[in-house]
Structure 1
Amino acid sequence: MELSPFQLLIITGILPHILSSRLRGYHLIRDKMNFNGSWNYCKQNFISLAVVNSPDELKAITAEAQRLGFKSEAWIGMYNDVNSWHWSIDNSELGSVRMWSNGEPNNNNVKEECVKIDGSGKWYDAPCQDPNQFVCYNGKNLTSYSSLTN
């Protein structure tokens, strides 16, 4: 079966996937980086790693992850700042939205200071130096986009 150039762009992930939402624009980046590398990438290319302040924002991220067939884990912008979880964008404390997986956060071996999300929206603490895919956001309202890179 021969694919058209348009189909090749979709398969390779070069063509951005668009997520329409009333919320922030989320960008799933499939390149793997540690937490600091991911945070820096998002700051340079968007605004920050994804921040989840409402159930609707969490739904937007998980709906897009499921639409893209994302079955892995990805960094979001949460980290542990001396026994207190904070968001990367403005160092704000974790709000009322908490989607920890069972038994999390557990700070296994006292080395899990950063947070990743799975395709179902559950959060896990993990070592910050581990390479993972990640979710950036652009802070836009009304229309938001989700990009996919190779």
Structure 2
Amino acid sequence: MEASPLIPASVVIKVGPAALLAEVHAGRHTFFLDEPVAVGGQDLGPTPYDMLLSALGSCTAITLRLYATQKKWPLESIEVHLSHQRVHRKDCDKCEASGEMLEEVYKELRLLGPLSPEQRQRLQVISEKCPVQKTLTSGAMRIITTVAE
């Protein structure tokens, strides 16, 4: 699998001519993403939005683990439950128009262990500082697309 000479790729995705199944190569790891049968996929893997939520959730949990370990807090286990939906910014006649929908992610933390209320509150604040969440909420990301020859 070769990267473009202009862009050293850390992730490469391949989709064939007939299916929606995406073969993902991330470093030395290979896995598949797909769409549900209801929208034309084969449901052989998580959806791209599942992976986006997975990136956010795992980054959150890892950030919390690192922080709690550094503080020597009794955080025994972390669960991050996530969901995504598109919601209308406001009631309007043109809600399907560009910019009228808002992407919304719900993130629920389950912090297991004998933590004090203050520790739980601090961990909630720290959870919002994970690098993936900062990237998603910064509004400063630019995606530059080119077509290779």
Give the TM-score band, short-chain normalised.
under 0.3
Report the TM-score when normalising by structure 2: 0.22
Q: Select the structure of larger CA radius of gyration.
A: 2
More helix by percentage: 2
TM-score under structure 1 length normalisation: 0.22
